Chain A
């Protein structure tokens, strides 16, 4: 809100501090001042009035009241003189006022000024408005705006002659009712909106904007000056739906104190007389009720001091409140504060504490550490395992990225996502934000592609939340980790699936470090969120822990890689973090290290090319029994010297016992058992 320093001075007695000093006082004790700019000899403050004070401080009077409370000045609002009303004409003979929608408008008052001369405003008025960045329209409109900026109460003027039937009806709009407002745009209304109408149709959208029909023009002779109390929620809803925020609607939606209505209306009439001449008809035509009975809040010295953590004496609290216009009375148990009628925000003792605290000086509150020790509660499991995962992944050479939580239509099309599974955003600011991400991969892969334009290899991961529509339209949200590796083009390495195996290796290490066992990998075929795979159909594994699928490792489909502009090899993994959190276990006991030497043997097994390695390894481990301490695959060979449909697997076998030194004879016997078990399965052992 723009506030003129000169204008503020009119509402205080005593010397207001210089603008820069006033700015400091406002900042420390009341509002944030965004800027102070020179306007001629005046200084214009741009004050950020927050919603709790918008009802009383979107006006020069409100701000002046604060300024007075913060300084040695006292607040002296403008009091309209007793209006000289016409002896001949009576307002109620000229216009009638009815409210049929009392929920939308609690009170409606009008004065009639006859014989005005509509024209340009006098210089002082024009300058006052221009200082605030307002355009001068004509003397009547300017007078209503002046009163609004002075008091916070919006007023409106109608051309009396254009009100059909001389009757003003405040009613709910009819469904589809159209109003053309000042400026020329037409809005279609609904029964939730309030209109000011005559016997024929709408003259204004109540609390928002006046209409063209009864516009005040240079031909206008008599005016009806409106001052009303519109319902704040209704005005807000209307203004939002119509996308029509006006100075009036902003004030009404924050709640204009009803206590100022009558005075603002007289102020308006007086100003019209002063700038446009004419005569005020006798009386105010009004309907409805204004209620601003006194509100009282009880507080104690101890309660306020405990909340703020200070030690302010009761009499100082009392003095602070009185400076703000509260009437404070000591009672047996504490104090009773009568809240000034314009302070709609004060209703509890905490509100009183806030007023005392800020005027005492929040800066002067002395920092005191809390005294009690509290045993920390259990940390959120997904959070703590996420932190662990991040460290492990970074330790494996991957860099952590944060990507945005949204995807757009282009991503949906590229990755074949099913739209009905995606959570969509109602009115995104940008089309890239149409859906919440169903996976971290689309963005992570795109960022990997962007990085590949500048570097040969990219290893990235992200831990973040993903979203989908679950059964019965519920939104399901969960935390996942995804990783991406992108490596340069290399036909041989590609044939061997080395990118895939790097990611799989990362997953294996991650699971081992978390102490997760019972892990198996099978072909990944199906993802319920896509219509067709975005991965390489023959290079994708589903990661299972027991019977539960907890993630996947795959190479990216080559057509998508191409579409992303990636020419090298790219693989990814994704794992559900909650599943990891449930299964992660710290090492609970150590296994004794054998005191006896180990015996090592290698074995090469010739198998069909499509044989799964864990199948052959399973045979070895079963046959090896407990003397076979470990078996490791160290080579896969295909090509020269082998038939085309064969591959050779070389395992390193370690035999060891915890109880004795193994003899060659014992080891030979186990080895022979392994060889025969392999042959039984149709695997040939190469010598």
Chain B
């Protein structure tokens, strides 16, 4: 074999490698040139030793260089074919990424649960802990110990669900838990009580026979109405995520506090300018509160000369209604998935 025919052979091999469409065809090309027995190049290399010295020195390196280039071209073509295949597979496997994802069953926590958890978190940060009490109460805990004597008009402030068992009722306010807690724990105290309360009245978009209150109680040697204002300010600003919320106290009356106040927050929808939510007043009434009445301290055996306390009770349903723009309180208790799934 001479240089000339080697060149021709190399040109032919290059074309064949290029034209090999798949791995099988490429293997055929490899065998044709480098097959152990009958490969054209193999044979050429084997025949080198039969060449005369001078010719061998010329052809030998050329043949070996050809062999190296051939092997390199072959593996380059292998990579090319692999890449092409991968591309084709990828193209075949193309999906519509805009189609919706596969959904696992999704659970939701009730909006009031979420509100309660947030409230509990905020108060926990201020050293308050959660206390609970029964929903079925005695007249003593719901009224008498809270300074609402029998046959007092203050009892008409709430329509009570009396049970057929004498003296038992469904609590009308979570304040009853104040009494249980103060009977069992010595001051100083900081507790909050989220819980269900009941009113025996007709239901409509703003009235339910059951709803949730968040009761708070702090008793210490030096607690004031000014402290109450500060704690409530922190609470509402964090709860509604609005640093601009202001707290306003107005005179009011609840038998178990003295002084008693109605608590308004500046409307967080209109920032106090006046809108439909705040009925154009710039303020939203959110809770009743005050300084624990000394008759309450006396009922639970806490010395009112030494200890002072503040207490408050907020209607959570109302706060949730305002926060989420819910216009009918009954939605919270109808277990309608179309409603619950939104939270």
Contacts and interface: CB of A to CB of B under 8 A. Distances in A.
Q: Do A and B come from one complex?
A: yes
Interface of A: 27-32, 50-54, 232-234, 236-237, 250, 253-254, 306-310, 348, 350-351, 353-354, 357-358, 362-363, 365-380, 382-384, 387, 390-391, 393-406, 423-430, 433, 436, 443-444, 447-448, 450-451, 454-455, 457-460, 462, 464-465, 467, 469, 473-475, 477
A406 B209 contact: yes
A350 B340 contact: no
B250 A28 contact: yes
Contacts of B151: 232-234, 236-237, 253
27 contacts: A51-B255, A53-B253, A236-B151, A236-B153, A253-B153, A306-B222, A306-B308, A308-B225, A309-B227, A353-B258, A353-B259, A367-B247, A368-B230, A370-B220, A370-B223, A371-B222, A390-B109, A394-B109, A397-B107, A399-B341, A401-B340, A403-B333, A423-B163, A427-B162, A436-B163, A450-B335, A459-B107
A50 B157 CA distance: 9
Given A254-B153, A354-B259, A428-B161, A400 B226 contact: no
Contacts of A406: 209
A185 to B, nearest CB: 22
A244 B259 CA distance: 32
A307 B337 contact: no
Contact of B233 (A367, A374, A443, A475): A367
Contacts of B165: 423, 469, 473-475
B328 interface: no
A368 B338 contact: no
Contact of A377 (B136, B168, B185, B229): B185
A31 B209 contact: no
A503 to B, nearest CB: 13
A319 B327 CA distance: 46
Contacts of B231: 369-370
Contacts of A351: 258
Given A366-B226, A394-B109, 15 more contacts: A28-B250, A32-B262, A50-B157, A51-B152, A51-B157, A253-B153, A307-B225, A307-B291, A310-B226, A350-B259, A362-B259, A377-B189, A379-B129, A387-B113, A444-B335
Interface stretch (B51-59, B91-99, B198-206): B198-206
B224 A306 contact: yes
B27 interface: no
A372 B188 contact: yes
Nearest to A404: B333
A307 B129 contact: no
Contacts of B168: 475
B201 A454 contact: no
B338 to A, nearest CB: 7
Given A403-B333, A433-B209, A350 B258 contact: yes
A53 B220 CA distance: 29
Closest 8 CB pairs of A and B: A309-B226, A309-B224, A397-B105, A354-B259, A394-B107, A447-B335, A362-B249, A401-B335
A164 to B, nearest CB: 33
A148 to B, nearest CB: 17
A273 to B, nearest CB: 34
Contact of B136 (A423, A458, A473): A423
B110 interface: yes
A387 B109 CA distance: 10
Nearest to A446: B335
Given A362-B261, A367-B230, A369-B234, A426 B162 contact: yes
Contacts of A310: 224-226
Contacts of A358: 251, 259
A451 B337 contact: yes
Interface string B175-191: 00000000001001111
Given A308-B225, A429-B209, A458-B337, A357 B230 contact: no
B117 interface: yes
A454 B338 contact: yes
B50 interface: no
A430 B210 CA distance: 13
B258 A354 contact: yes
Interface in B31-47: none
Contacts of A373: 127
A425 B164 contact: yes
B124 interface: yes
Contacts of A464: 196
B107 A396 contact: yes
A391 B156 CA distance: 39
A32 B250 contact: yes
Given A31-B251, A362-B249, A377-B185, A451 B335 contact: yes
